[in-house]
Amino acid sequence: MSEDRRLEVLRAIVDDYVRTREPVGSRTLVERHRLNVSPATIRNDMAALEDAGLIAQPHTSAGRVPTDKGYRLFVDRLSQVKPLSPAEQRAIHAFLEDAVDLDDVVDRSVRLLAQLTHQVAVVQYPSLRRSALRHLELVPMATDRLLMVIITEAGRVEQRALDVPEGVPEHTLGELRARLNASVAGRRLADLTEPLDQVVQAFPVAEQEFVRRVVRVLEETLAETTEERIVMAGTANLARSGLDFAHTIRPVLEALEEQVVLLNLLSEMAEDAAGVAVRIGHENEHAGLAETSIVAASYASGGQPVARIGSLGPTRMDYAGTISSVRAVARYLSRILAG
């Protein structure tokens, strides 16, 4: 029973500290929360929480604040996620529904999430590697040059130019276009090896080298990771949270400038059973993010996760509200891409 009560004390400390930014004392807990125990019992519970490394005293005679370990236990035991109001849900739907293309969808999503959480929002573009293909076009640019246009089910468009032998017949190009589209539509990179081999074998031996070259460019384009990118919004929100960082927000801003840091972080964040992952404080290996927390969720196209969306802010974060907002925007984003 005492362990359950101490978890309630920890929850109360987290709630108060997130709301006020002030260290929380035993008297405050007695006055604000119905814990149904004496002040002496609460002080004993706080001492036990401090011994366990879940709360800390920032300076003598101050109250207590949660540690990274305390926030982690709080998040892991979070039984309820703050629901969005009907008005918030309607606003999300209306704001994202009017998007005209993938770039617009991503831009609207990241700005919306920053507004909802008052933190930094990050959206990863749909990965070519994980996206299913919708259509492929081969456009002659000259007698010895082709433009390959790849369109994914998520709406992402990639273009690659390639050199080809002069004088490739139009009927060969048309047949290749038709066979490739029949083979790749609705498939991901991992499922393309056998279908693409069959496309090559369907052509006369004299034309197979040309077909292999086209297929190779397609596979290399889909396998590339260097083109992965993210979009951010709400960086100015960090200025409002400046007091939550021990010294300065500069290390955080420098980490955000290195997009590869965020890309790697989003890729590493394995989902829990609820579909949302949370990294708290020193769980982030990059030193510049040691005083921040990141909440991220996957969004999908064709029923399969293609990228992630997340919110980054100080560890003194409204975790329930942030999780709710990230999850909601990710779900709406998935619906729109399924369009």
Among candidate residues 171, 198, 223, the one where a domain is terminated:
223
Stronger pLDDT, 122 or 61, i.e. the higher one? 122
Per-chain mean pLDDT for the chain: 87
Question: pLDDT digit string (tens) for 152-168?
Answer: 887 788 889 998 888 78
Among candidate residues 193, 223, 253, the one where a domain is terminated:
223
What is the CATH classification number for the domain harbouring 266?
3.30.450.40
Q: What is the pLDDT of residue 1?
A: 47
Ranking 133-147, 170-184, 219-233, 281-295 by mean pLDDT, the lowest is 219-233
pLDDT at 123 over 90: yes
pTM, 2 dp: 0.80
Per the domain annotation, does 258 fall within a domain? yes
Domain interval for residue 43 = 2-74
Q: What is the pLDDT of residue 221?
A: 85
Stronger pLDDT, 251 or 100, i.e. the higher one? 251
Per the domain annotation, does 18 fall within a domain? yes
Q: Do residues 309 and 299 make contact, with C-beta atoms less than 8 angstroms apart?
A: yes
* In a shared domain, residues 100 and 184: no
pLDDT band at 339; cut points 50, 70, 90:
low
What is the CATH classification number for the domain harbouring 219?
3.30.390.60
Per the domain annotation, does 321 fall within a domain? yes
pLDDT at 269 over 90: no
* In a shared domain, residues 120 and 251: yes
* In a shared domain, residues 243 and 323: yes
Per the domain annotation, does 302 fall within a domain? yes
pLDDT band at 89; cut points 50, 70, 90:
confident
* In a shared domain, residues 327 and 248: yes
